[in-house]
């Protein structure tokens, strides 16, 4: 009750401030930060009381107060606070890497591999085919040739395969459950990001060959290989630094972890390496090859609640609600198609591996959420294909918006039934 | 130089600096005190400022604004948090009276001296009288307050014990209240800024927002057990209040101080909050000290001369105030001089208030004010350290 009251009070306060401010509210990033933290936190608590994951609460709160909602925080606020995004993503990736424990995954390696392969195959083929049929009915789509449609479909297929490790991890952490199912889900989601980075580069090259209309520098396979291997090497180095710090310097460990996450993102992202992969590798190394893993995970669990509030509320505020007006229906069809493909892929994977029969029909619910990586890939599509890239990116963004709202709910539903 | 580098540098310097300074033994020598004191960060700020080696460009500083606003809010909240009525009411009225005299009398003397200095030495004859008075008032309020850390150090170093020295400690700890109040009221006196009724409305709104913020924090945090959840609420409130203050040109220090007072008088988890509030405070103060000279430092002989005069006036007026209040404290004959040295250095609230005034009013003359203040801060500390050393050496003989 108190959180609901605070939520309403803050919303009214925000509206008053917006109306009577002496200067543009955009000029105070501190105000935006405060609003995001408090409204996000209260919304998360209200949603949790309703049995809905806090993440959904943060996202909905972000959308409500964001530049496409009540405008209590502006687009400038969202841009000013991108520094927080980098820190949060790095922290989430470090946690995600730490969650992949070889000892726990080894017994399920066969299952993970099959689900990964089957999901990727069904997603890429299913989504490409689905888009092929839908393309002529999509408003404002500027692709005229059949090869163009095929290229766009292929890219949509690859991007749709991705799930969101951050959302998955946040919901699992909030549920407080650790089981074979959660290990399996995390393993698949994390490894899938690496597979998708490779697949996307291949898809991009194929699409460019099909359309011959790219403008930028095509990212070749060699380039991709360099980026991925470079990220892993840097990740290993950072992992070693973290191990040394945790082992020999006993004080201020939380501040050190925060600092290393922040600087890794800010330093290596401009160098075209993948901060997510770097931090995942670092987390993986610390947990699997040292005795400091438990301490790292304890610290990360301590830091995670405020980081989730900030990151997901900010992500909600950045979601473009205006796109839904024009692309909502098409996006909805793509979301349904994606869910169908996820179901098929998961069912096929689990059936082929011959394990976990209880997850065959409901396992797909763990892979619906979609965020960080997919958003980044959509931006690359918009950059690389000036003719039609924008409209495809907008379509992907609209679908991500819906998936991100549904994803936490379906995953929580699965976790609530886990073991029953 | 990009934001990241600035942020990284400041973070590293203030973090390492605060550890180095505040971990030292309480009774270390005067020379190491002078070298390791927080004021060394003022010199560092001057060194890297556009007036010095020009390492940091002024445009970059704009990107540090959220951090500065947050810092002001945090410092204000922490100060208000310490004003718990349950303890304050137990303190003798004599002490309040003495602390008031020890602050107000020097403030008056400094106001006259600063006004004369600005008018006749700095060449502000052509300025509107009200402007010169405001400048002089800012300077007087900032210079009249004292540094608790120095009093603590000197008490330990020279084994100064007894009721009167505890009173000096109390006076140094409480006199931050006056400049914070002064900063809040400053907006009322700006020419063309407000009329009387408007000014009253502003101060009422500042208090209302602070009380609301403190109450919301209390109700949201009272049943939460998870420390990080409480931190999320606390950080959110401080960010929000300082952001609102900036948007409405209010004083972030005052608004958050009111929030801190409201909260501390309602919560029952003082120790818990104190433990979490304190570690963030010290690096923030050091950050203020580095950032202040970066915003403009009108170095020159005249500001240095004015600063020296003001320090002398401060010393003599503190001495005068101590002589007036000596009978109340039943102190010894040599106590007033010793107390004047103890109360001579200024605390880090000064840079915070100057930064706040600059952020709120965006005034050009701040570089002169900043220069005079920084010089005065450095001179007063060196004089106080040396003075205490010589005084106690003579006494021990």
pLDDT at B331: 67
B168-186 pLDDT, tens digit per residue, is 888 888 888 888 888 888 7
- The torsion angles phi and psi of A2, rounded to 5 degrees, stand at -65, -35
3-state helix, strand, coil in chain B (%, to 5): 80, 0, 20
In chain A, which among 1-20 make CB contacts under 8 A with chain B?
A: 2-3, 6, 9, 17, 20
B312-333 pLDDT, tens digit per residue, is 999 999 888 888 887 776 767 6
pLDDT at A219: 52
Contacts of B239 (CB under 8 A, 6+ apart): A30, A31, A33, A34, A37, B69, B70, B73
Confidence of residue B1 (pLDDT cuts 50, 70, 90): very low
pLDDT at B316: 92
Confidence of residue B197 (pLDDT cuts 50, 70, 90): low
Contact B229 A305 (CB under 8 A): yes
Please classify residue B44 by burial: count the beta carbons closer than 10 Å to its beta carbon, then call 0-12 exposed, 13-18 middle and 19+ buried. Answer: middle
Confidence of residue B208 (pLDDT cuts 50, 70, 90): very high
A69-98 pLDDT, tens digit per residue, is 888 888 887 777 776 777 777 887 787 778
Contact A2 B220 (CB under 8 A): yes
Tokens of A307: 């980081």
* pLDDT: which is higher, B229 or A114: A114
Sign of CA dihedral A110, A114, A120, A121: positive
- The position carrying tokens 């170093």 is B157
Contact B243 A31 (CB under 8 A): yes
pLDDT at B107: 92
B148 to chain A, minimum CA–CA distance in Å?
26
A22 touching B (Cβ < 8 Å): yes
pLDDT at B19: 61
Average confidence (pLDDT) over B97-112: 89
Residue of A nearest to B67 (CA): A30
Residue A29 Cα distances to A83, A137, B67, angstroms: 12, 42, 9
Contact A309 B243 (CB under 8 A): no
A79 touching B (Cβ < 8 Å): no
Residues of A in contact with B241 (CB under 8 A): 34
Instruction: Determine the 3-state secondary structure of B161 from DSSP.
Output: coil
Contact B4 A42 (CB under 8 A): no
Does residue B21 contact residue B265 with C-beta atoms inside 8 Å? Answer: no
Residues of B in contact with A28 (CB under 8 A): 66, 69, 243, 246-247
* pLDDT: which is higher, B137 or A142: B137
pLDDT at A101: 78
pLDDT of A216 over the 50 cut: no
DSSP characters over A327-394: HHHHHHHHHHHHHHHHHHHHHHHHHHHT--GGGTTTGGGGG----HHHHHHHHHHHHH-TTTHHHHHH
> Mutating which of B244, B279, B282, B361 best tests the A interface, going by the most A Cβ atoms within 10 A?
B244
A169 to chain B, minimum CA–CA distance in Å?
18
Contacts of range A256-259, beta carbons closer than 8 Å, 24 or more positions apart:
A257/A91, A257/A94, A257/A296, A257/A299, A257/A300, A257/A303, A258/A87, A258/A91, A258/A303, A259/B11
Does residue B255 contact residue B210 with C-beta atoms inside 8 Å? Answer: yes
A261-274 pLDDT, tens digit per residue, is 878 877 887 777 77
Which residue of B66, B229, B248 is in closest CB contact with A30?
B66
Residues of B in contact with A302 (CB under 8 A): 227-228
* pLDDT: which is higher, A360 or B259: B259
B145 to chain A, minimum CA–CA distance in Å?
29
Please give the model's pTM, rounded to 2 decimal places. Answer: 0.79
pLDDT at B189: 67
Contact B240 A28 (CB under 8 A): no
pLDDT at B20: 61
pLDDT of B277 over the 90 cut: no
pLDDT of B352 over the 80 cut: yes
The mean predicted confidence, pLDDT, of chain A is 79
Does residue A281 contact residue A231 with C-beta atoms inside 8 Å? Answer: yes
Residues of B in contact with A42 (CB under 8 A): 220
Contact A25 B220 (CB under 8 A): no
Contact B66 A302 (CB under 8 A): no
Does residue A164 contact residue A185 with C-beta atoms inside 8 Å? Answer: no
Average confidence (pLDDT) over B7-23: 62
Task: Compute and round to an integer the Cα radius of gyration of chain A.
Answer: 21
Contact A6 B70 (CB under 8 A): no
Distance CA A318, CA A378 (A): 14
In chain A, which among 177-206 make CB contacts under 8 A with chain B?
A: none
B111-157 pLDDT, tens digit per residue, is 999 988 888 777 766 666 777 788 888 889 989 988 888 888 888 88
What single-letter DSSP state applies at residue A107? G
Tokens of B371: 């220069």
Average confidence (pLDDT) over A303-317: 78
pLDDT at B395: 65
> Mutating which of A27, A28, A265, A303 best tests the B interface, going by the most B Cβ atoms within 10 A?
A28
pLDDT at B71: 87
pLDDT at A214: 47
> Mutating which of A11, A34, A270 best tests the B interface, going by the most B Cβ atoms within 10 A?
A34
B62 to chain A, minimum CA–CA distance in Å?
10
pLDDT of B385 over the 50 cut: yes
pLDDT at B190: 62
Residues of B in contact with A22 (CB under 8 A): 247-249
pLDDT at B193: 54
Core vs surface per residue A276-304: b (16+ CB within 10 A) or e: bbbbbbbbbbbbbebebbeebbebbeebb
pLDDT of B28 over the 90 cut: no
pLDDT of A127 over the 80 cut: yes
Average confidence (pLDDT) over B283-310: 82
Confidence of residue B257 (pLDDT cuts 50, 70, 90): very high
Which residue of A35, A41, A304 is in closest CB contact with B233?
A41
> Considering only CA atoms, which of A390, A393, A399, A400 is closest in space to residue A378?
A393
Distance CA B5, CA B56 (A): 10
Contact A33 B8 (CB under 8 A): no
pLDDT of A11 over the 90 cut: no
Question: ipTM value of the model?
Answer: 0.81
Give the residue numbers in B contacting A (CB under 8 Å), as ranges. Answer: 3-4, 8, 11, 15, 65-66, 69-70, 73, 216, 219-220, 226-229, 231-233, 235-244, 246-249
Neighbour tally for B131: CB within 10 Å:
16
A355-383 pLDDT, tens digit per residue, is 777 777 888 888 888 866 676 677 667 66
pLDDT at A215: 46
B314 to chain A, minimum CA–CA distance in Å?
37
Residue B279 Cα distances to A390, B74, B283, angstroms: 48, 11, 8
């Amino acid at each position: 009750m108190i959180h609901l009251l605070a939520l309403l009070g803050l919303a009214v306060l925000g509206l008053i401030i917006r109306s009577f401010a002496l200067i543009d509210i955009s000029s105070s990033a501190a105000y935006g930060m405060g609003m995001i933290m408090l409204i996000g936190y209260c919304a998360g608590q209200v949603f949790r009381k309703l049995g809905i994951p806090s993440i959904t609460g943060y996202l909905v709160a972000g959308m409500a107060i964001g530049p496409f909602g009540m405008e209590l925080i502006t687009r400038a606020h969202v841009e000013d606070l991108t520094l927080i995004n980098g820190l949060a993503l790095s922290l989430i990736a470090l946690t995600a890497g730490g969650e992949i424990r070889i000892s726990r995954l080894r017994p399920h390696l066969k299952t993970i591999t099959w689900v990964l392969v089957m999901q990727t195959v069904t997603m890429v083929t299913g989504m490409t085919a689905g888009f092929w049929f839908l393309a002529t009915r999509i408003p404002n789509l500027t692709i005229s040739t059949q090869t163009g449609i095929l290229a766009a479909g292929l890219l949509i297929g690859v991007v749709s395969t991705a799930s969101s490790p951050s959302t998955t991890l946040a919901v699992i952490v909030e549920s407080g459950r650790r089981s074979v199912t959660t290990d399996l889900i995390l393993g698949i989601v994390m490894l899938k990001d690496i597979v998708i980075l490779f697949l996307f580069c291949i898809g991009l090259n194929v699409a460019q060959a099909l359309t011959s209309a790219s403008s930028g520098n095509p990212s070749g396979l060699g380039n991709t290989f360099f980026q991925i291997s470079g990220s892993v090497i840097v990740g290993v180095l950072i992992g070693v630094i973290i191990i040394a710090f945790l082992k020999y310097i006993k004080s201020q460990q939380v501040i050190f972890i925060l600092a290393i996450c922040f600087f890794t993102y800010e330093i290596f992202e401009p160098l075209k390496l993948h901060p997510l992969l770097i931090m995942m590798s670092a987390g993986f190394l610390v947990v699997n090859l040292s005795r400091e893993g438990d301490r790292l995970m304890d610290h990360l669990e301590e830091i995670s609640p405020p980081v989730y509030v900030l990151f997901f509320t900010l992500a909600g505020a950045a979601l473009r609600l205006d796109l839904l007006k024009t692309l909502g229906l098409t996006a909805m069809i793509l979301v349904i198609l994606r869910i169908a493909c996820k179901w098929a892929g998961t069912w096929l994977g689990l059936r082929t591996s011959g394990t976990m029969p209880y997850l065959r029909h409901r396992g797909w619910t763990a892979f619906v959420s979609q965020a960080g990586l997919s958003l980044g890939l959509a931006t690359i599509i918009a950059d690389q294909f000036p003719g039609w890239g924008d409209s495809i990116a907008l379509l992907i963004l609209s679908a991500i918006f819906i998936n991100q709202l549904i994803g936490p709910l379906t995953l929580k539903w699965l976790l609530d039934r886990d073991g029953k | 130089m990009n934001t990241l580098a600035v942020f990284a540098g400041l973070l590293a310097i203030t973090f390492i600096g605060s550890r180095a300074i505040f971990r030292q033994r309480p009774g270390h020598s005067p020379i190491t005190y002078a070298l390791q004191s927080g004021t060394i960060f003022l010199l560092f700020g001057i060194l890297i400022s556009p007036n010095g080696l020009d390492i940091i460009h002024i445009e970059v500083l704009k990107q540090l604004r959220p951090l500065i606003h947050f810092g002001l809010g945090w410092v204000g909240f922490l100060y208000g948090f310490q004003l718990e009525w349950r303890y304050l009411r137990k303190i003798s009225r004599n002490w309040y009276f003495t602390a008031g005299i020890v602050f107000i009398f020097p403030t008056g003397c400094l106001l006259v001296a600063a006004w004369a200095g600005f008018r006749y030495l700095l060449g502000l004859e052509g300025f509107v009288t009200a402007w010169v008075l405001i400048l002089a008032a800012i300077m007087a309020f900032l210079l009249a307050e004292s540094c608790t850390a120095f009093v603590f150090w000197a008490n330990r170093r020279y084994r100064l014990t007894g009721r009167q020295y505890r009173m000096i400690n109390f006076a140094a700890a409480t006199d931050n209240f006056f400049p914070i109040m002064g900063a809040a009221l400053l907006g009322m006196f700006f020419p063309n800024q407000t009329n009387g009724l408007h000014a009253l409305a502003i101060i009422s709104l500042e208090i209302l927002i602070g009380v609301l913020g403190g109450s919301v924090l209390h109700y949201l945090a009272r049943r939460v057990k998870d420390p990080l959840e409480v931190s999320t609420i606390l950080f959110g409130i401080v960010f929000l209040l300082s952001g609102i203050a900036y948007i409405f040109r209010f004083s972030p220090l005052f608004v958050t101080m009111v929030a801190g007072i409201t909260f501390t008088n309602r919560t029952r988890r003082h120790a818990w909050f104190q433990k979490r509030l304190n570690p963030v405070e010290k690096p923030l103060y050091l950050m203020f000290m580095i950032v202040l000279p970066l915003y403009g430092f009108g170095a020159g002989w005249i500001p240095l001369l004015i600063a020296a005069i003001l320090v002398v006036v401060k010393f003599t007026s503190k001495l005068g105030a101590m002589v007036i209040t000596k009978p109340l404290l039943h102190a010894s004959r040599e106590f007033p001089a010793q107390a004047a040295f103890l109360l001579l250095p200024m605390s880090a609230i000064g840079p915070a208030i100057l930064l706040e005034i600059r952020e709120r009013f965006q005034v050009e003359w701040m570089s002169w004010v900043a220069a005079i203040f920084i010089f005065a801060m450095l001179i007063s500390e060196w004089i106080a350290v040396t003075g205490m050393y010589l005084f106690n050496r003579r006494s021990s003989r």
